[in-house]
Structure 1
């Protein structure tokens, strides 16, 4: 699934409690079962607006970050957890993944307004309309539990169809960019 530019990016966008994380988990499981090396990226929009609480209060890394470290890492022989306080968005986050991990696919949850192609997870036409009104772009497919409009310009999958969605995405990946159709207004 990997291309010459690096890992394939499969974005997932939607509102809170729409099923994004459940879909991401199913896609991660399916990709891993196919022997693909998978990275998972979660955009925490709440931390964009307020101080984050990712580190355990009083931990060594939290204290060093408070002292001024812009990057902290907890590491062992079995792996590491890297934390950066440098500003950025999806392009920088994807670059960081490429720099520290050799993966075939990045499942990126969040970022409805980010430029990369993505799957919209919606519970119906109302959420679809709200997602577009919120500025969602580059939607290449939709996942919805029971909504499937006739003649829709992008394919609609059900939440249990992660394998089909992953196969569809893989077949349409072109040199690091999915040819995503324009979404209707």
Structure 2
């Protein structure tokens, strides 16, 4: 559910090597240039299955985590890095960002099957079809460097159009048009 005080959430989904991170960086850069406060959330699907190795080996926070701390934080006057062992998904991660930071925009990379609206980054029609077959939902726009189907049900942007994409997304968000899935498999 969307609320007027919540930041704009821009989801980005696609396969490895499709350009998700490059698009995320371009959107972060564009939003920051417009004076917006931006948070970046990266879901690492590989880490879901891997050993818990986020802490620097032997560090104070690693030892505290090994001793049983479910939350660790490295902090200075310039900022902090918070780590939590509490299980959850995008809903909890968005809530955590809201709890610790006052931001206007959250760029969330990953989570193709999640219910929040997202941009599909694909390298052509075959990859688009594979993404839908993999369970991608709530696709509100597509970014592709070499594919622009006519009559497609959602807008298709090019990677260099971060400014246009951000403006389009923010307008739709304000209208409440990006709350529910727009396209599904």
TM-fit CA distance, 1:175: 6.4
Query: Which consecutive aligned stretches of 4+ in structure 1 deviate over 4 angstroms post-superposition?
Result: none
Q: Where does residue 33 of structure 2 map in the other structure?
A: 33
- Using structure 1 for the length normalisation, give the TM-score: 0.94
> Could you report, residue by residue, the CA deviation over 1:91-146 in whole angstroms, capped at 9, with x for unpaired residues?
00000000000000000000000110000000001110010000000000000001
Map 1:40-119 to 2 at 5 A.
40-119=40-119
5+ unaligned residues in a row in structure 2: which ranges?
Answer: none
> What TM-score, normalized by structure 2, do the two folds share?
0.94
Unaligned runs of at least 5 residues, structure 1: none
- After the TM superposition, which of the residue ranges 115-124 and 47-56 deviates more from structure 2? 47-56
Q: Is the 8 A contact 1:10 1:118 kept in 2?
A: yes
Q: Does the 8 A contact of 1:37 with 1:102 survive in 2?
A: yes
Where does residue 136 of structure 2 map in the other structure? 136
User: CA, structure 1 residues 179+67, in 2 after alignment: closer, same or farther (shift >3 Å)?
Assistant: closer
Aligned length: 184
CA displacement 1:29-57 (0-9 Å, x = unmatched): 00000000000000010111121332211
Please tell me the root mean square deviation across aligned C-alpha atoms, in Å: 1.7
- How far apart are the structure 2 equivalents of 1:108 and 1:5? 18
SS at match of 1:169: helix
Distance 1:58 1:101, change over 3 A: same
